[in-house]
Amino acid sequence: MMTIRKYCKSPESQIRFGMIFLGIASLSKWWLDSRSTLPGEWSDAIIGFLYGVSIAVMLLGIWRKTHPSQ
């Protein structure tokens, strides 16, 4: 049985989490641009943070998949 900690550390699940964050970032861009009352700078900051998290998590998963620990 795989624990949550081991599941989160596997490269495949990190890539999967990155893709989920990418989808959330895309949806938040659509939602914040059309329905938000936040100033433009705040919505851009939130969207940029979510895109940054998704890219970082996917790159970490890809790097860990190609460089297995010794």
| 44 occurs within a structural domain | yes
pTM: 0.78
Q: Is the pLDDT of residue 1 over 80?
A: no
What tens digit of pLDDT does each residue of 17-47 get?
A: 999 999 999 998 888 777 777 787 888 888 8
Which pLDDT score is estimated for 24? Answer: 93
Q: Is the pLDDT of residue 7 over 70?
A: no
CA-CA-CA-CA torsion for 21, 23, 25, 31, nearest 10 degrees? -140
H helix or E strand, kind and range, residue 43 = helix 40-66
| 30 occurs within a structural domain | yes
Which pLDDT score is estimated for 59? Answer: 95
Range of 31's domain?
A: 11-66
For the chain, the domain total comes to 1
Which pLDDT score is estimated for 2? Answer: 59
